[in-house]
Amino acid sequence: MNQKWDERYKNTEFAYGTAPNLFFKEWLPKFKPGSILMPADGEGRNGVFAAQLNWTVTSFDLSTEGQLKALKLAKENNVTLEYNVGDLEELEFEKESFDAIGLIYAHFSAETKSKLHKKLNEYLKPGGLIIFEAFSKSHLHFKKANPKVGGPDAIADLFSKEEIQADFENYEILLLEEEEIILNEGQFHIGKGAVIRFVGRKDMSL
């Protein structure tokens, strides 16, 4: 899998652009900066944006090519990232050590996605925030019509609101919706798609 992403990220051009995801850009500034974990941060566009808002950013992805470009982008914007290369199933972070987690198109396999969401939950402090956007199960129709919009090929790898509620059951839901949007993110997110958007706050009592 890392070979696929190394191939995608090795070009000079940024695969998904250098601007942050619009949903992430809308929601992150609403909250006081702290520490944020950015899984599947790719070439760093969202991690760099968070760092520009004075968040302390820990990013990770499967791709060393993505890491190189993310660190270059951070340097160009006069910010720093801690960027790890590896799979979430193998990486370990301190429990309850992050104030927020940004899950922006962090698609995991159908067999592991709920388990990995539960693992991420352990790294978030009580009262911490999840900001999530990823393709919904309705997206497959759009991808078949326009492969340039991107996303997984299997419906089981896509998300539903019910899955998010189950995976993050101990959260106050600030927003949970399915939306049809127009994506314009680099070369690989172009066109109309369907997404799940979720913002949640972890129960303070946990």
Q: Report the amino acid identity of residue 176.
A: L
Q: Please report, for the domain that includes residue 198, its CATH number.
A: 3.40.50.150
Q: Work out whether the CA dihedral 184, 178, 176, 5 comes out positive or negative.
A: negative
Total-model pTM: 0.96
Per-residue pLDDT of 43-66, as tens digits, reads 999 999 999 999 999 999 999 999
Please count the structural domains in the chain: 1
Per-residue pLDDT of 136-170, as tens digits, reads 999 999 999 999 999 999 999 999 999 999 999 99
For residue 146, which of 94, 191, 178 has the smallest C-alpha distance?
A: 191
Side-chain half-sphere exposure of 91, counting CA atoms within 13 A:
21
pLDDT at 124 over 90: yes
How would you classify the pairing of strands 189-202 and 171-185? Answer: antiparallel
Tell me the residue range of the domain where 170 lies: 2-202
Per-residue pLDDT of 92-116, as tens digits, reads 999 999 999 999 999 999 999 999 9
